[in-house]
């Protein structure tokens, strides 16, 4: 008979230590108890209120995210069956996703719908708005592509495969360990398709102390890609700064951005980003844009398996 434990609340008990090989029932009960309602994208919920609520919890949020990440990466070899392992991995993944709200530290540990939607379009851009970069014999073919806010790395990994080029995946220092893990798992697949990926931390608007050495040489990249980067009021200015610092000054250099049009808040953030890019000393303007249908799971009143159908806006920016 399986060992089970009833856990009254995350505050009442220590999280299990995997080195102690906790029983299936112990892990499952703990993961069930860590369930939280995902934060809704809602203008009436302020960032300050969410942060205050998070600070009031007894368990440190980062400790829980680290615990969940450890489970997802673990082989769980001591459990009795593959079925038990799949259940635990699935529950840990759900708890991780629930903590990917508007201000969640684990936002970058979830693969968002826009990354998938943009990855499916990559081959079209090589024959369209980015053809001048990838055409045979092109003078400005990017030796490296920079992805900003890579999250789990889906888009950057797909770009390395489709475009057969080197892609530098970047995100916050707290996100890059999981990003590097995903990149290493897919390294052989990427290399078989003629691509290459590297992972490095890059904090938008960060000082020299927060910047990886490779990014201190400015304006290096002929192509920058970014999906779903805007979910707080300060992000448009920070993203515009990062793009302006890293994008080459060449008139052929391009930025490919995708932003899901979830609501008026997201649309407003996108318009702010346009303005911020236009105000850079070497202005960036949208040269081509469109909207494609997609599925997104950032919203309210959704069951675990439900998604929203939204329009995914994409734009290609270049310098004036």
Concatenated DSSP letters of 171-182:
E-TTTHHHHHHH
Residue 308 binned pLDDT confidence (cut-offs 50, 70, 90): low
Ordered alpha helix ranges (H), the chain: 24-33, 47-55, 61-73, 82-98, 113-119, 122-126, 131-134, 154-163, 176-185, 187-192, 235-246, 264-278
> In whole angstroms, what is the distance from residue 79 CA to residue 155 CA?
33
pLDDT above 70: residue 52: no
- Average pLDDT rounded to a whole number, residues 120-129: 92
Q: Is residue 4 part of a domain?
A: no
Q: In whole numbers, what is the pLDDT of the chain averaged over residues?
A: 81
- Which among 70, 74, 256 has a CA at the least distance from the CA of 158? 256
Q: Could you tell me the two tokens for 192? A: 């078989």
Of 37, 71, 106, which residue sits at a domain end?
Answer: 106
Answer for the pair 298, 233: CB distance below 8 angstroms, yes or no. no
Q: Is residue 98 part of a domain?
A: yes
In this structure, the answer to whether residues 92 and 222 fall within a common structural domain is: no
- Average pLDDT rounded to a whole number, residues 113-133: 90
- Average pLDDT rounded to a whole number, residues 40-50: 45
Residue 159 is predicted with a pLDDT of 96
Of 86, 106, 126, which residue sits at a domain end?
Answer: 106
> In whole angstroms, what is the distance from residue 158 CA to residue 180 CA?
15
In this structure, the answer to whether residues 229 and 83 fall within a common structural domain is: no
> In whole angstroms, what is the distance from residue 250 CA to residue 38 CA?
43
Residues near 218 by beta carbon (within 8 Å), at least 6 away in sequence: 245, 246
Residue 277 binned pLDDT confidence (cut-offs 50, 70, 90): very high
In this structure, the answer to whether residues 277 and 213 fall within a common structural domain is: yes
- Which among 64, 52, 74, 73 has a CA at the least distance from the CA of 96? 64
- Each residue's pLDDT tens digit, 25-38: 999 999 999 887 54
In this structure, the answer to whether residues 67 and 162 fall within a common structural domain is: no
Residue 297 binned pLDDT confidence (cut-offs 50, 70, 90): low
Bridge partners (DSSP) of residue 147 are 169, 225
In this structure, the answer to whether residues 175 and 309 fall within a common structural domain is: yes
For the question of whether the overall pTM of this predicted structure is more than 0.85, the answer is no
Q: At how many degrees (to 10) do helices 82-98 and 61-73 cross?
A: 150
pLDDT above 50: residue 148: yes
CB-count burial class (<10 Å; 0-12, 13-18, 19+) for 175: buried
Q: Is residue 8 part of a domain?
A: no
Residue 208 is predicted with a pLDDT of 62
pLDDT above 60: residue 227: yes
In this structure, the answer to whether residues 153 and 76 fall within a common structural domain is: no
Q: Is residue 2 part of a domain?
A: no
- Each residue's pLDDT tens digit, 172-203: 888 888 889 889 989 999 999 999 999 999 98
Residue 169 binned pLDDT confidence (cut-offs 50, 70, 90): very high
Scored b (16 or more CB within 10 A) or e, 222-235 reads bbbbbbbbbbeeeb
User: What angle is formed at CA 18 by the lines to CA 32 and CA 93, rounded to 5 degrees?
Assistant: 40
Answer for the pair 155, 119: CB distance below 8 angstroms, yes or no. yes
In this structure, the answer to whether residues 192 and 224 fall within a common structural domain is: yes
Q: Cβ atoms within 10 A of the Cβ of 18, count?
A: 15
Residue 99 is predicted with a pLDDT of 63
Residue 305 binned pLDDT confidence (cut-offs 50, 70, 90): very low
- Average pLDDT rounded to a whole number, residues 212-224: 90
The percentage of the chain sitting over the pLDDT mark of 70, rounded to a whole number, equals 76
Spatial strand order of the sheet with 223-227 comes to 196-201, 166-171, 144-147, 223-227, 254-260, 308-319, 284-296
pLDDT above 80: residue 231: no
Q: In total, how many domains does the chain have?
A: 2
Q: Cβ atoms within 10 A of the Cβ of 155, count?
A: 29
Q: Is residue 12 part of a domain?
A: no
Q: Which domain holds residue 219?
A: 111-319
pLDDT above 90: residue 252: yes
Of 63, 91, 106, which residue sits at a domain end?
Answer: 106
Residue 13 is predicted with a pLDDT of 55
In this structure, the answer to whether residues 57 and 126 fall within a common structural domain is: no
In this structure, the answer to whether residues 83 and 208 fall within a common structural domain is: no
Answer for the pair 161, 145: CB distance below 8 angstroms, yes or no. no
- Average pLDDT rounded to a whole number, residues 234-240: 93
- Write the CATH number for 230: 3.40.50.150
Q: Is residue 1 part of a domain?
A: no
pLDDT above 70: residue 105: no
Q: Is residue 246 part of a domain?
A: yes
- Which among 242, 313, 312 has a CA at the least distance from the CA of 284? 242
In this structure, the answer to whether residues 203 and 309 fall within a common structural domain is: yes
- Average pLDDT rounded to a whole number, residues 205-209: 68
In this structure, the answer to whether residues 235 and 289 fall within a common structural domain is: yes
pLDDT above 60: residue 307: no
Q: Is residue 5 part of a domain?
A: no
In this structure, the answer to whether residues 229 and 300 fall within a common structural domain is: yes
Q: Cβ atoms within 10 A of the Cβ of 241, count?
A: 16
- Each residue's pLDDT tens digit, 59-99: 466 788 888 888 988 999 999 999 999 999 988 877 776 66
- Average pLDDT rounded to a whole number, residues 124-130: 92
Answer for the pair 202, 211: CB distance below 8 angstroms, yes or no. yes
């Amino acid at each position: 008979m399986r060992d089970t434990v009833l856990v009254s609340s995350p505050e009442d008990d220590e999280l299990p230590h995997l080195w102690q090989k906790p029983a299936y029932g112990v892990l499952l009960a703990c993961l069930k108890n860590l369930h939280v309602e995902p934060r809704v994208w809602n203008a009436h919920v302020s960032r300050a209120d969410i942060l205050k609520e998070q600070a009031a919890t007894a368990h440190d949020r980062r400790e829980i995210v680290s615990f969940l990440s450890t489970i997802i990466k673990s082989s769980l070899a001591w459990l009795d069956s593959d079925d038990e392992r799949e259940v635990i991995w699935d529950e840990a993944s759900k708890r991780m996703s629930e903590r990917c709200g508007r201000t969640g530290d684990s936002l970058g540990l979830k693969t968002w719908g826009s990354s998938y939607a943009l990855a499916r379009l990559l081959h079209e851009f090589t024959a369209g708005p980015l053809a001048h970069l990838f055409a045979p014999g092109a003078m400005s073919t990017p030796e490296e592509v920079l992805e900003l806010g890579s999250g789990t790395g889906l888009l950057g990994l797909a770009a390395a495969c489709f475009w057969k080029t080197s892609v530098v995946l970047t995100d916050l220092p707290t996100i890059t360990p999981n990003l590097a893990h995903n990149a290493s798992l897919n390294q052989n697949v990427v290399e078989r398709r003629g691509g290459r990926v590297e992972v490095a931390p890059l904090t938008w608007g960060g000082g020299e102390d927060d910047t990886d050495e490779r990014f201190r040489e400015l304006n290096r990249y002929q192509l920058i890609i970014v999906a779903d980067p805007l979910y707080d009021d300060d992000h448009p200015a920070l993203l515009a700064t990062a793009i302006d610092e890293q994008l080459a000054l060449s008139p052929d250099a391009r930025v490919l951005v995708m932003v899901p049009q979830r609501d008026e808040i997201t649309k407003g953030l996108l318009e702010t980003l346009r303005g911020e890019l236009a105000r850079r000393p070497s202005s960036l303007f949208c040269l081509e844009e469109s909207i494609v249908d997609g599925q997104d799971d950032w919203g309210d009143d959704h069951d675990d398996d439900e998604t929203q159908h939204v329009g995914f806006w994409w734009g290609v920016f270049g310098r004036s």
